[in-house]
Structure 1
Amino acid sequence: MSDPSPLIGEPPALDLVNTRPVGADLLSTPDELRVWLRLQAERSEEARTFAATEPAAESLAAVRDVREHTALALDRVRRGEPPSAGDLEALNRAQRAAPAVTELDWDGRSLRAARRRTGPPALRPAAWLAEAAAELLADPAVAKVRECEADDCVMLFLPAHPRRRWCSAARCGNRVRVARHYRRHRPAEPDPASS
């Protein structure tokens, strides 16, 4: 893939799996995890909380573990197969390490409900992502998840339109269209037999 920056915009579990484009790992350091969480923060209050802190190596390891088990389970579910018990247990264990609780608070005039994670702060991002993976895997829409049709791309997406073919029209869609145009309009190569 020519652009190593993370794609954002799919369900968080797919965005997480998509941090492994061909030949790269976009979550190889705690700082890269922080950057990715900041991108997610625009879409999620919980991610906004995580992005405000410096992730530790323990956070990175836990998130990468969730990513691996999510990718494996998703691959099987997309093919109509049951996920492995080990993958499900790993995702459940990650959620239990820092469960979410809806806390109620009275501010003097009204009651507010806010979702907060308990458990070790380093494990909270992984718990959030494992919960997002559980929601995606249990959603019937998981059967619609597709892999990008560009030759050198492994990104996954949940199409909003049935004709969507690429992870990103700006990335892979443009590259495929440009390559197709070039093939149609390039000059014919001389025939070596006529020389």
Structure 2
Amino acid sequence: MELLIGEPLALDLVNTRARDFDALDAPGDFQTWLARQTDRLTAPSAPLTAAGLAAVRRLRGHVESALNAVREGASPPDAAVAALNEAARGAPPYRVLEWRDGTFRTGMGRDGDDLARLLAQLAEAAADLLTDPAVGRIRGCEGPQCRMLFLPAHPRRRWCSPELCGNRVRVARYYQRHKTT
């Protein structure tokens, strides 16, 4: 299964669960997803354990429930907000002063173990998305049985991917128009 990435990180996390595939079921699948997110996320130094994957799955569920509530104009569940805040507190970021190439520079460090750092980054990405005014424009793919979410750059975008779901819909319409009875 080819996972779609390129949406805001929190949406990419929710989209790790596709129609008949879940990248959080196997460490290798999640490692592949993490490798594709290296420009936005610091991956753990070792593959996650089953317990680590379960923790990411729980966080994904809270992100999804908060996003769904906001998309429906409702208040997010208190448990989702609490879980996102707890994950963000688990590995708070801090500025690090570094001396490189004859000058001072600042970087970011994070306390906590690999899993805590990963969960904190994902929770902060969710907080960024949930507080973005564009959150109200998030849509669900109109492809049959597709559960992907996306933030459309164009107001007429209807599918998570024109190559996947868009093509499926076009082929189905063509078949309906041309089938012989």
| Shared fold per TM-score greater than 0.5 | yes
The equivalences for 1:59-78 within 5 A come to 59-78=52-71
Which of 131, 134, 139 aligns to 1:141? It is 134
Q: Indicate if the aligned counterparts of 2:44 and 2:114 stay in contact, CA closer than 8 A.
A: no
Structure with higher helix content: 1
Over 3 Å counting, the alpha-carbon distance change for 1:76 and 1:97 in structure 2 is: same
Structure 2 CA distance for aligned equivalents of residues 99 and 36 of structure 1: 23
* SS of the residue 1:165 aligns to: coil
Match of 1:8 among 2, 5, 9: 5
Higher mean C-alpha displacement, 176-185 vs 128-137: 176-185
User: 4+ residue runs of structure 1 moved beyond 3 angstroms?
Assistant: none
Query: Are 1:50 and 2:43 counterparts?
Result: yes
Letter in 1 for 2:137: K
The Cα RMSD (Å) is: 1.5
- Identical pairs, percent: 50
| Contact kept in structure 1, 2:44 and 2:115, CA below 8 Å | no
Q: Aligned partners of 2:50 and 2:142: how far apart in 1? A: 34
Q: Distance in 1 between the 2:45 and 2:177 partners?
A: 50
> 1:182 maps to what in 2?
175
For 2:95 and 2:160, the matched residues in 1 are separated by 34
**Structure 2: stretches of 5+ with no match in the other structure:** none
Unpaired segments ≥5 residues, structure 1: 190-195
The farther-off stretch of 50-59 and 99-108 is 50-59
**Which structure is larger by alpha-carbon Rg, 1 or 2?**
1
Which deviates more, 67-76 or 57-66? 57-66
TM-score (ref. length: structure 1): 0.87
Report how many residues are paired: 181
1:26 correspondence with 2:26: no
Q: CA-to-partner distance for each residue in 1:108-146, whole Å, 9 max, x for gaps?
A: 522222222211222211111011001101111100000
